[in-house]
Copies of this chain bind each other. A is one copy, B any other.
Amino acid sequence: MNLTIKDIARMAGVSVSSVSRVINNSKPVNDHIKEKVEKVIRETNFRPNAVARGLISKSTNLIGVILPQINYISAELINGIEGVANKNGYNIILSNTRLNPDLELNALQLFKDKQVDGIILSSIDMSERHIQLIQDNKIPVVVVGQKTTDYAIPWVDVDNYRPITEIVRYLMRCGHEKIGMIHGPLIDKSAGDSRYRGFIEEMERKNLSVNPKFVGESNFSSKDGYLAMEKILKCEDIPTAVVCASDTIAIGAKNCAEDLGYRIPEDISIVGFDDIELATLVRPKLTTVQVCFETMGSKAMETLLQSIEFKPVNIENYLDYRLIIRDSVKVVADDLGTKI
């Protein structure tokens, strides 16, 4: 079988504790012994068993990551998480809950069994049972994509409301007034409802009326975006600009408009949200809101790290965003006095 610390001790003619000491640099060891041990370790390629270490130290250097699905957005998130985790000696262990809240609970349990040092949770809907379990488990948790301030659980999320109000104001400055929106599921309080409210309320504040026929719902997919746009364009009167709750929706909507003979942005302007890679690959390039999911991941991991190390953590962590103006919005009139 594999070598153990005991074998090394025997081969080096010292005690196991001495071996442990040189491995962990935990206590001063005589140079003489140290060299002997290091020599044996080098020659045998010995590596201490991480599981045994974990059993005693209560730390596995594992971070549990719970995701409702694994797509290109998760990929960016994982990239961010993995980046700072790795830099700090942690590995990440993944659980895909396939949009099933019960599996999220399972994963929370399982990760506790496996004694992970911390958990990053992207839940589709934080229930009381989630909160309960998290608080019982006593394992540091950071939530992403949802705001759990009420429960004193640290989170990192985008502001879903303000960017949309900025989009509305930008469209107005470009001369648009008949503005529609294709939003996400309103049950989804973050990317769904908040973005929708941002639109409705900003339109109200600016005294622009929202034609209900200009508003459609989707599940964030391109296909749904296409369908929603189709419905909007069937009316006699159509909007001059449509705000979409995601880039994928926007691209579906764009394809639909084009299939129906409209040109983007000449006939209809379209704005997306997220700034996925696609947004620059599609023609015209999509005007959208940039939110960096990789940053979301790294920020989440950083706060998790602080929590693990018992440092003070910010409960609320808002992500930066930026309106990215590209080619999918027509400038009807520019009251900024500058070329946009």
| B115–A50 touching, CB < 8 Å | yes
| A110 at the B interface (CB under 8 A) | yes
| A282 at the B interface (CB under 8 A) | yes
Q: Choose among B79, B110, B258 the residue that contacts A70 (Cβ–Cβ < 8 A).
A: B79
Q: Within the assembled complex, what's the spacing in Å between the Cα atoms of A50 and B96?
A: 20
| A47–B79 touching, CB < 8 Å | no
Interface residues of A in 138-191 (CB under 8 A from B): none
Most buried by B among A93, A136, A255: A93
Q: Within the assembled complex, what's the spacing in Å between the Cα atoms of A258 and B283?
A: 9
Interface residues of A in 106-122 (CB under 8 A from B): 109-110, 112-115
**What band does the interface of chain A fall in when counting residues whose beta carbon is under 8 Å from B?**
35 or more
Which chain B residues border A51 with CB–CB below 8 Å? 51, 54-55, 60, 114-115
| A48 at the B interface (CB under 8 A) | yes
Q: Choose among B55, B95, B112 the residue that contacts A91 (Cβ–Cβ < 8 A).
A: B95
| A78 at the B interface (CB under 8 A) | yes
Q: Choose among B49, B91, B92 the residue that contacts A110 (Cβ–Cβ < 8 A).
A: B91
0/1 interface trace, chain A 94-107, chain B, CB 8 Å (1 if under): 11100000000000
0/1 interface trace, chain A 66-84, chain B, CB 8 Å (1 if under): 0000111011001100110
Which chain B residues border A281 with CB–CB below 8 Å? 222, 251-252, 255, 278, 282
Total copies of this chain within the assembly = 2
Q: Within the assembled complex, what's the spacing in Å between the Cα atoms of A82 and B61?
A: 21
Most buried by B among A51, A82, A91: A51
Q: Within the assembled complex, what's the spacing in Å between the Cα atoms of A50 and B49?
A: 15
| A70–B78 touching, CB < 8 Å | yes
| B94–A93 touching, CB < 8 Å | yes
| A86 at the B interface (CB under 8 A) | yes
| A62 at the B interface (CB under 8 A) | yes
Q: How far is the CB of A289 from chain B (nearest CB, A)?
A: 19
| A235 at the B interface (CB under 8 A) | no
| A75–B79 touching, CB < 8 Å | no
| A52 at the B interface (CB under 8 A) | yes
Q: Across the interface, name the chain B residue whose C-beta is closest to A138.
A: B2
Q: How far is the CB of A51 from chain B (nearest CB, A)?
A: 5
Which chain B residues border A282 with CB–CB below 8 Å? 281-282
0/1 interface trace, chain A 124-143, chain B, CB 8 Å (1 if under): 00000000000010000000
Q: Across the interface, name the chain B residue whose C-beta is closest to A80.
A: B70
Q: How far is the CB of A275 from chain B (nearest CB, A)?
A: 15
Q: Across the interface, name the chain B residue whose C-beta is closest to A93.
A: B93
Q: Within the assembled complex, what's the spacing in Å between the Cα atoms of A153 and B52?
A: 29
Q: Across the interface, name the chain B residue whose C-beta is closest to A258.
A: B283
Q: Within the assembled complex, what's the spacing in Å between the Cα atoms of A83 and B97?
A: 10
Q: Within the assembled complex, what's the spacing in Å between the Cα atoms of A72 and B50?
A: 31
| B114–A50 touching, CB < 8 Å | yes
| A112–B47 touching, CB < 8 Å | yes
Q: How far is the CB of A180 from chain B (nearest CB, A)?
A: 21
Which chain B residues border A71 with CB–CB below 8 Å? 72, 75
A-B contact list, 17 entries, CB within 8 Å: A49-B55, A49-B113, A51-B54, A51-B60, A62-B93, A71-B75, A74-B75, A82-B96, A91-B94, A91-B95, A91-B114, A93-B94, A255-B281, A258-B283, A278-B278, A281-B282, A282-B282
